[in-house]
Structure 1
Amino acid sequence: MMDVIKLLIIDDDDADKMHFRRALRTCGFNYELVEQDNADQTNSDFLNTFDCIFLDYLLPSSNGLSLLKKIRDCGIKTPIVIITSQGNESIAVELMKAGASDYIVKNNINGHLLGQVLRNMLYISSMIREKEQAERALRESESRLAEAQRIAKIGNWELNVAQNTLYCSAETYNILEFPQDEVVLTKEKVFDLINRNDWDLIHASLQKALEGKPFSVDFSIVTRYGLKYTHSQGYAVKGANGEFERIVGTLQDITERKLAEQEISNARKEAETSMKVREVFLANMSHEIRTPMNAILGFTRLLYETNPTQEQKEFIDAIHFSGENLLVIINDILDLSKLQSGKMSIEKFEFNLHELIAGIVAVMRQKAQEKGIRLLSNVGNLVPLVIKGDPVRLNQILTNLLSNAIKFTEKGTVKLEVTGAASENQDILIEFKIADSGIGIPVEKQAVIFEAFTQASSDTTRKYGGTGLGLAIVKNLVELQAGTISVSSQPDSGSTFTVHLPFEQVNTGTPTPSSLTPAHALTDELTGISVLVAEDNPVNQLLVKRILEKVGCKIDIASNGMDAITRISTKRYDMVLMDVQMPEMDGYEATTHIRNKLSQPACNVPIIAMTAHAFGTDAIKCISAGMNDYISKPFQPEDLYGKIVKHLNNNNWHEVKERPENILKQSIDLSSMYVLENGSFLNELVSVYSKQTPELIEKLENHLWSHDFEGMRTVCQRIRSFYGVLRLHVMDNALQEVGVLLNAEDPDLEYVRITALVNNIILLISAINEEVRRNLGQTGCAVIR
C-alpha cells in the first residue's frame, strides 16, 4: 500500500479548488489534502509538514511571486508548485528563480498531469531530505572532529606549496591564539610566532616532507599570551602531475606535557640534591657519633683490663651495652639510607657457610642464655660447605632475625634451620628458617612489619625498644640478592621467618680455610713496629695509642695531615694510621702528597685510613687517594691488629711492588730506538708522548669516575698500542690485570681493585714519559737498564 502524501493548496477561488480536487482523484496517489484561501495565517512549522504545496499565482492580498519569496525566506524547503492562468515563460522563469519547484497552467490541470508533477515533487522532496541528512551528518561530524581537536588540543593544517596558501582548522587557530573570524592565517604569520631558535628545525621538517618522508617535530611558539610548546607531524601529498603540491599535518599543544616533564625533571633534581644533602648529613652524623663512640667502646674494653671491682664491672657493662645499642641504631639508619639510595652493593666470593652459621649461633646463643632461652640450630645434609655469595649480608640478615627472635621470646626456644635444594643454572637455593616461641604477630600487622620505623604495636616499642628498622633492612637485603622473605605467626604462639636466597655452587668438597689469624700470632708480629697515628681527636689519639702500645708498638702522634707529612719525611715508620677528617690538611690530601711528593722509602709506607664515615664510596675514595686499606670507627682492637699485620707482610695491596720509576730502570728496553740512530725521530717521539699523555690520563680518569668500563677498555687498548714500542712489560702486565677485571661479569663488583690498578697505570704513564723525555731527548741516547 502506497504511503499517504500530505498536500496543501492555497487558492481563493472555490471553482479552481473544486477542479483541482477532481483532477487529484485520478492522479494515482493516496493523499490528504488541506485547503486554504491565503497564506497569511500560516507559519513555517505548519508549511514544513507537507510533502508538496500548490500555490495560486494570483491571491487577493499578494501575488504568488512575493508570497513564494516570503515562504522561501522563512527557510521552508518543501516543494512548491505555482498554479497560474498564464503560460508566460518570462513569469515562469521568475518563479523558478524565486524558488518554485514547478508550475502548471490551470486550464491544463488533469489527473495525469498532477500525477506526473507529484512524482517529480516527491523525488525532489526525497533529494532535499537526503541532502539535509547529509548536511546534518557532515555538520555533526565536523562538530565532533572540532570537539575532539579541542579536547586533545590537536588542530590540522594544509599548506599548498604551489600557491603558498595555508588552511588551518578552528583548533589550530585556538592553539595559535588567533580569532578565526578576524584573521586569515598565512605561512608568514605562523612563522612569526615560531621561536627563532626552532626555524631551522621547521624548515628541515618541511623539506623532509617534500622529499617524500613523514616528519615529526617539537618546537616552541610565542603567542600574544605567552610561550607555548607544540608538536607537529605530517607528510606531503602529490597532485595529478605526480609532484608534491600539498603538505598536510597536525599541530598539537603539548605545553602541559612539557611543563609536567620539566616539573618531573626539577623534582628529580631536587630529590637527587636532597639525597646528596642527606648523604652528607648522614656521613657527618656518622663521623660525629662514631668518633666519640670509638673512644667510649674502646676505653670500656681497656677498663676491663684494669682489674675493676664487681660494681665497676657492672658500670662498665652498662656503658658498653648502651654504646653497642646506639651503634646498632646508627648502623641501621645508615644501612637503610644506602638501600634506599641504591648504594648498597652485594659482593660475591667463596665462603664456608657452615663456619658462618656456627659463628652466628655461638654469638646469639650467649644472648639467648642470658634470657634463659634455648637456641637450637640444624644444617641439612644438602647444604654445601662452601658457596659463593655475600657472607657479610647473610650474616647481617641472620643476626638480625635471630636477635629479633630472642628479643621477643620470654621463654622457650629459638631455632635456626638451614636446608638446601638445587635450582636453575647450577645455583643452589638455600632456605633459612628462624622459628621462635615468642609473643607472635597479629595477622593484620604482618604486612607492615617490613616497613621502615614500624613495629607491630606501640606497646612493643615501649617494652622491647628498637627503631623498627631491622626487618625493613633484612627485606631489602634479601630482595637485593634476588631472594624472598615471608612470615607465619599467631599472637602468643611464636613466629617463623623464612628466607630463600640463591647462591652459586662451588666445585669443591673441602671447606675454605679460615682466614683468621690467631690473636697471639697477630700480637707477636706487631711487637716493636713503629706506627704513626695521624688523628686530631685527643681522646681517640689516647685510645689508639693504648691499644697499640698494649701489643708492643712504638707510637708517634700527628694532629693533622701537615704534621703527618713532616714526621714521615724525617723518620721511617712501618705503618701509618691516617684519620681522613682532620684540620689544616685531611687524610686524603696528606696521603696523595706522601705518595706523589715524598722520596723513598717514605712514599711507600703502608697507610690505613681510620674513617668514621660508613659509605662504600669512602672506601673507593681512600683507595684512590693511595691508601692501602681502611677501617671504620668504632673498631675492635683485633680487627685493627689484623689490618696492620696484613699490610706489614704485603704492603702493595693490588699495587706494583715498587714505585714506577724504579721498575722502569729495570724494565725499559729502548735498544730498538737507538738502532735507528735518528735523532729527529727520537725527538719527535718525545714530542708525541708529551702531547698524548694528558689526553690519555684525562680520558682514563673520566671513564673511571663515571663507571664507563667500556670506555676504560678502549683507552687501555690504546695505551697498550701507544706504549708497546717501548717493550714495557710492567705496563703490559698492569693492563692485562685490569683487563681481566673490566671483562668480569659485573665490573662494578671489582671497582675498588680497578681503581687501584688504574691509578697505578696513570702513575706508570707519568713515570714513563719522564724517562722518555730525560733519556730519548739526550744526544747520547744510552740504553736504560
Structure 2
Amino acid sequence: MAAGCPRKRRGREGALAKGKLSLGQYKVTFKPGNAAIAPLAAKAIPNAAQHAGSGFGSAWHITSAFFTGKLRKRFYADVRQLGDQTEGTRKIASAYLCLAAAFGWTISFFVVLLANPAHSEAHVLAVIVAAASYLGFLQVRRGRDPQWMVDTLLLLHLLAVGVLSFHHSGIVAPVVASLPIIAGVSIMFQRGRMRVATLCIGVAVAAFSLVCAAGVIGLPTTYTPEARSIVSFMITMFAAIALGTMAWIANISRDYALTQLQTANEAILENEARSRVALEAARVGLWDVPDLATQKFHVSESFQTVTGYSAEEFNGIWRGIETFVHPDDIVPLREAFAVARNRMSRLRVDFRLQTRTRGYRWFSARARYINNPDGSVRISGSLQDINFIKLAEDALRQGRDQARAADKAKSDFIATMSHEVRTPLNAIMGAVEVLKRGAHDRETSELVNLVDDAGRGLLAIVSDLLDVSKIDAGKLDIVHEPTDMRTLVMRTVDVWRPQALDKGLALEIDSTRAEAGLLMVDGGRIRQVLGNLLSNAIKFTDTGAVRVVLSTHEQREGHVDIALSVIDSGPGVPDAVAETIFAPFEQSPNNASRGGTGLGLFISRRLARLMGGDLTLEPARRDGAHFRISLSVKAARAEGDSARDPSNDPIWAGRQVLCVDDNEKNRRIAELLLGKFGMDVSLCASGGEALDLCAMKSFDLILMDIVMPDMDGIETLHRLRADAQGLNRLTPAIALTAKLTNEDLAAYAAAGFAGVAGKPINVRELAQAIAPALTPVA
C-alpha cells in the first residue's frame, strides 16, 4: 500500500523538502527556502497511513453511481477513503476500468452466446478476461498495486483479440473494435517500457487481425452475415461507451486532482503569507546560495525588509565585505564561516551589518553548509535583527557596572567613615580605659561609665555597618576555633549584666543541658550574635528577667547540635512582623521608639546562617520574645586543641616599645595604656621618624599604625626589614589599625606583622596581640 510504505512515504517527504508536490499527474512547485510551507503543504493532504488498507466502494455501489449519474461523487468518496492523494486517483481509476472491463466482457459473453452459440473459444475467452478484470478490481480494492493488474489485463485483452481474429479469418473480427480502448488505457495508466511494449503489441495484433481478415491465415469464420452485423454493432457500441467512460473517469480524476491542487496551492499561499508576516515581525530574513561557485544569493522578502538589500545588491558582499560588515566584525565573521565550511556544519555568529537606511545594526546569522547531489556546495541560513537585544545587553552591562561601582563606592565610603569614626573613638575609649584604671569618686566613676557605654554603643553601630557591607559583598568569613561554649556564654552575659542591673532586670543563665567540652565554632561571631540578642532583650524589657538557655546534643560522627536561646519578659513580637524584623533597618512597630539601627537581627541571622545554622523567633508567647540560635558543629579533638582563655592584664615592666601613629591622641592613649603595663613607650608621628628612631635605638616591640601620610605602615615595615644592618630588623611589629577586613589581615601577615590590634583600642585585645610577640623577662 503506497500510503503505508515507508519507502514511498520517505519519497514524498523528500519531494516536499525539494519544493515539489505531486497530485496524480499534476505537479506544483514552491520555494524550498520557506521552511514553513513544506510541512503545511503536506498537511493539506490527509494522512494516508490513517486509511491505508481500507476498502472503497463495492461493485454494486460503483455501478449504481454510474447509472444514476453520481459517479463523480462516488469517485471522490473512494479517493478520500484511500487517503493518498498522489496514488489515490490512479488506483480508483484503475479499479473502475477493471470493473468496466469485467462488465464489458460479461455482456460480450452473452451477446456472442446469443449470436453464435457454437463459438466456444470466444465464450471461454470472455469468461477468462471478465473474471480476470473483476479479480483486478478486487485486488485494487484490497490495497494492492494496480499497475501489474492493468498491465496483465491489457496483455490478456490483446491475446483475446489475436485469438478471436484468428478464428474469424475472412472478416474483421468484431473484437478488433476494442483496440482503441486498449490504446487509451495504455496511454493513461501504463508507464515507461510497459506502455511502449503494450502499444507495440497492440499494433502487431492489429496487423495480425488485418491479415486474418484478408483470409491469408486463420480459421474461417462461423458467423452468419446477420450475426456478424449484430455482434459488430454491439461491440462498436460497447467500445464507444467504454471510450466515453474512460473519458468520464479521466475527467473526474483530472477535476479531483485540480481541486486538491487548488486546495494545496491555497494552503501554500496562505501559509507562505503567514510565514512572511511572522518572519518580518521577528525581523528574520532567509537567504540561500545554491552553489558557492556562482556566488549568487536568493533571499526572501523579509530579508529585503530587514536589511534593505535585494539579492542582486547583496551579491556585492562577495566582492567587498567591508562595504556591508563593520570592520571590527569582519575577521570573526570570516573565521566562523571558514570553520563551518571546513567541517560542513552549522554556524551561528553575531555581527554588525550596514543596512541600507538605518546604518549599522546587530544581526545574528545562522547557516549550514551542505553538499549538492552534483558535488557543489550549498549554504542556506537566516539573518535575524538582534539590535534591540544588543542594546538591552549593553544597558544591562552598564547597569551592572554602575551597580558594582555604586556598591564599591558604598563599601569604600563605609570603610572610610568607619576609619574616620574609629580614630576619635580610639581616643575617647582609650582615655576611658585609662580613667577606669584610676581611683575616682562615685560621681566621676558614673560619668566615666556613661562615656564608656556611649562609646561602645557608637562602636557597635559602626561595626554593624561594616558587617552589613561585608555580608553584601560576600566577604565575611567564619573562623572555627576550639571554644568552650559554656564559658563563652557566661562571659558574654557578664558583659551585659551591669546594663540589666541598671534597669532592675534579672539576667539568668541555664546551661545545665550543655555538656562540657570544646566545640569548633567562631567564638567571636557567636559572642556578637548573643550580644545583639541580649542588647535587644534588655532594651525592650522593662520588668522581669532575661534568661539565656544553652543546650547541646551530640550527634553521629562527632557532630554536636547547639541550641542557644534568649528569652525575655518584654512586650514580645507580633506574628505579623515575625519575619520582617530580620530585614535590614526594620524594627517592630511597637519598639521603633526605643532607638537602634534595625541591623542587629539582620546581621545576627546572616551570621548564624554563615555558621551553618539559623536564628529564628519562636511562635508568639503571651509575654516576651524567644529567639533561638541553632547550630550544628564538630567537636574539637582532645589532643592539641585548647580553648582561648584570655589572661589577666600581663606586666612587661621595662620593655621598650615604639608606637608609630600620625594621630597625637592615639599616641597618647597608647602611651598611657602601655605605661600601665610598666612598658617604656617611645612615640613618633610618621614612618620616616620611625625609621630614624629605629636606626638609633633597639626596641622590643613596635606598634605601627597602617594609614599614615607620606609612608604607610606596610611600607615603613618593609624598609625596616630591608635594612640588613638595622637595629630593629627582626623586632616584632603589631599593626594598630581600624582596617580589619580579611583582605587587610592577609596583607598585614604578608608584610611581616606579628599580630593585629584593632581601633578603638581594647586593653584585652591589645594584650592578646602583644603577648605572643614578647618573651617574658627571666
Q: Higher mean Cα deviation, 291-300 or 210-219?
A: 210-219
Q: Does 1:646 align with 2:777?
A: no
Deviation at 1:470, TM superposition (A): 0.2
Q: Is the 8 A contact 2:486 2:514 kept in 1?
A: no
* Aligned-pair CA distance for 1:284: 1.7
2:596 is matched with: 466
Q: Report the equivalent of 1:621.
A: 747
Q: CA 1:566–1:323 in structure 2 vs 1: closer, same or farther (change >3 Å)?
A: same
Structure 2 counterpart of 1:232:
365
Which residue number corresponds to residue 177 of structure 1? 308
Of 292, 297, 310 in structure 1, the residue corresponding to residue 424 of structure 2 is 292
Q: 1:147 to 1:563 in 2, by over 3 A?
A: same
Which range is displaced more, 364-373 or 543-552? 364-373
Counterparts of 2:634 and 2:721, CA distance in 1: 39
Q: 1:271 to 1:120 in 2, by over 3 A?
A: same
Which residue number in structure 2 is paired with residue 313 of structure 1? Answer: 445
In structure 2, what residue type is equivalent to 1:624?
Answer: A
Contact map agreement 2:285 2:302 (CA 8 A) in 1: yes
After TM superposition, give the deviation of residue 381 of structure 1 in Å. 4.5
Deviation (angstroms), 1:529: 0.9
Distance between the aligned counterparts of 1:403 and 1:387, measured in 2?
25
Range moving further from structure 2, 582-591 or 340-349: 582-591
The answer on whether the counterparts of 1:450 and 1:472 sit within 8 Å (CA) in structure 2 is yes
One-letter amino acid of the structure 2 residue matched with residue 237 of structure 1: I
- How far 1:220 sits from its partner (Å)? 2.4
Please give the secondary structure, in 2, of the residue aligned with 1:165: coil
* Cα distance, 1:329 vs structure 2: 0.7
Counterpart secondary structure, 1:512: coil
Among 164, 174, 177, the residue aligned to 2:295: 164
Q: Structure 1 residues 527, 249: CA separation in 2 closer, same or farther (over 3 Å shift)?
A: same
d(CA) in 2 for partners of 1:189, 1:413: 90
Distance in 1 separating the partners of 2:689 and 2:703: 13
Question: Partner of 1:466: helix, strand, or coil?
Answer: coil
- 5 Å matches for 1:315-714? 315-379=447-511, 381=513, 383=515, 385-422=517-554, 426-457=558-589, 459-462=590-593, 464-490=594-620, 493-508=623-638, 512-519=642-649, 522-523=650-651, 526-597=652-723, 599-649=725-775
The verdict on how the C-alpha distance between 1:593 and 1:153 changes in structure 2, with shifts beyond 3 A counting, is same
Aligned mates of 2:484, 2:549 — CA distance in 1 = 17
Deviation at 1:627, TM superposition (A): 2.1
Is residue 166–residue 187 contact of structure 1 (8 Å, CA) maintained in 2?
no
Question: 1:379, 1:314 → 2: CA distance?
Answer: 33
Which whole-Å CA distance do the structure 1 matches of 2:676 and 2:776 have between them?
Answer: 23
Letter in 2 for 1:352: D
Q: Which residue of 1 aligns with 2:318?
A: 188
Which amino acid in structure 2 is aligned with residue 176 of structure 1?
A: T
- Equivalent residue of 1:232, what SS? strand
Between the two proteins, the alignment pairs up a number of residues equal to 542
Contact 1:383/1:430 (8 A) holds in 2 = no
Q: For residues 698-754 of structure 1, give each alpha carbon's deviation from its aligned partner in whole angstroms, at most 9, with x where no partner exists.
A: xxxxxxxxxxxxxxxxxxxxxxxxxxxxxxxxxxxxxxxxxxxxxxxxxxxxxxxxx
Q: Which residue of structure 2 lines up, in the alignment, with residue 261 of structure 1?
A: 393
Helix, strand or coil for the counterpart of 1:372?
coil
Q: Post-superposition shift, 1:404?
A: 1.5
SS at match of 1:649: coil
Could you tell me which amino acid in structure 2 is paired with residue 229 of structure 1?
W
Note the alpha carbon deviations across 1:261-315, whole angstroms, 9 max, x for none: 3333322222222222222222221121111111111212323344333332332
Q: Residues 602 and 422 of structure 1: is their aligned pair in 2 closer, same or farther, counting only changes over 3 Å?
A: same
Q: Distance in 2 between matches of 1:565 and 1:345?
A: 35
TM alignment of 1:184-223, pairs within 5 A: 185=315, 187-188=317-318, 191=321, 192-211=323-342, 212-223=344-355
The alignment partner of 2:278 has SS state of helix
Q: 1:606 to 1:156 in 2, by over 3 A?
A: same
Q: CA deviation at 1:111?
A: 11
Deviation string for 1:90-116 (max 9, x for gaps)?
xxxxxxxxxxxxxxxxxxxx9999998
Provide the C-alpha distance between the structure 1 equivalents of 2:743 and 2:339, rounded to a whole number of angstroms.
Answer: 49
Check whether the contact 2:505–2:545 (CA below 8 A) recurs between aligned residues: yes
Q: Is the 8 A contact 1:442 1:489 kept in 2?
A: no
- 2 CA distance for matches of 1:640 and 1:455? 35
In the alignment, is the contact (CA less than 8 A) between 1:375 and 1:413 conserved in 2?
Answer: yes
Q: What is the identity percentage for the equivalent residue pairs of Structure 1 and Structure 2?
A: 27
Shift in Å at residue 471 of structure 1? 0.5
Partners of 1:164 and 1:187 within 8 A in 2: no
Aligned to 1:724: none
Q: More helix by proportion, 1 or 2?
A: 2
Change (3 A) 1:613 1:157: same
Matching of residue 132 in structure 1 with residue 172 in structure 2 = no
Equivalent in the alignment of 2:279: 149
Supply the AA of the counterpart residue of 1:388. Answer: M
User: Normalization by structure 1: what TM-score?
Assistant: 0.64
How far apart in 1 are the matches of 2:621 and 2:662?
52
Conserved? CA contact 2:482–2:643, under 8 Å: no
What are the Cα deviations for residues 663-719 of structure 1, in whole angstroms up to 9, with x where unaligned?
xxxxxxxxxxxxxxxxxxxxxxxxxxxxxxxxxxxxxxxxxxxxxxxxxxxxxxxxx
Does the Cα contact within 8 Å between 2:695 and 2:726 map onto a contact in 1?
Answer: no
Supply the distance in 1 between the matched residues of 2:548 and 2:339 (Cα, whole angstroms). Answer: 70
Structure 1 distance, partners of 2:516, 2:280, is: 68
Structure 1: unaligned runs, 5 residues or longer: 1-25, 32-109, 652-785
State the 1:592 CA deviation: 1.3
Instruction: Give 1:190 shift.
Output: 8.6
* Equivalent position SS for 1:603: coil
1:127/1:424 CA distance change after superposition, 3 Å: farther
Deviations 1:432-481 (A, max 9, x none): 22222211111111121111111011x5222x211000011011112222
8 Å Cα contact 2:549-2:566 kept in structure 1: yes
Residue 449 of structure 1 aligns to a residue whose secondary structure is helix
Partner of 2:129: none
CA contact (8 A) 1:578 1:608 kept: yes
Tell me the SS of whatever aligns to 2:581: coil
**Structure 2 spans left out of the alignment, 5+ residues:** 1-65, 72-239
TM-score by length of 2: 0.64
Q: 1:132 to 1:379 in 2, by over 3 A?
A: farther
Does structure 2 retain, via aligned residues, the 8 Å contact 1:286–1:614? Answer: no
The Cα RMSD (Å) is 3.1
Displacement of 1:563 = 0.6
| Partners of 2:556 and 2:360 in 1: CA distance | 57
Partner of 2:412: 280
Distance (Å, rounded) in 2 between the aligned partners of 1:177 and 1:649: 85
Bigger-Rg structure (1/2) = 2
SS at structure 1 position matched to 2:361: strand
Shift of 1:239: 1.9
Q: Which AA in structure 1 matches 2:632?
A: P
**Within 5 A, what are the aligned runs for 1:57-72?**
none
For 1:560 and 1:543, the matched residues in 2 are separated by 17
Would the alpha carbon gap of residues 240 and 395 (structure 1) be closer, same or farther in structure 2, given more than 3 Å must change? same
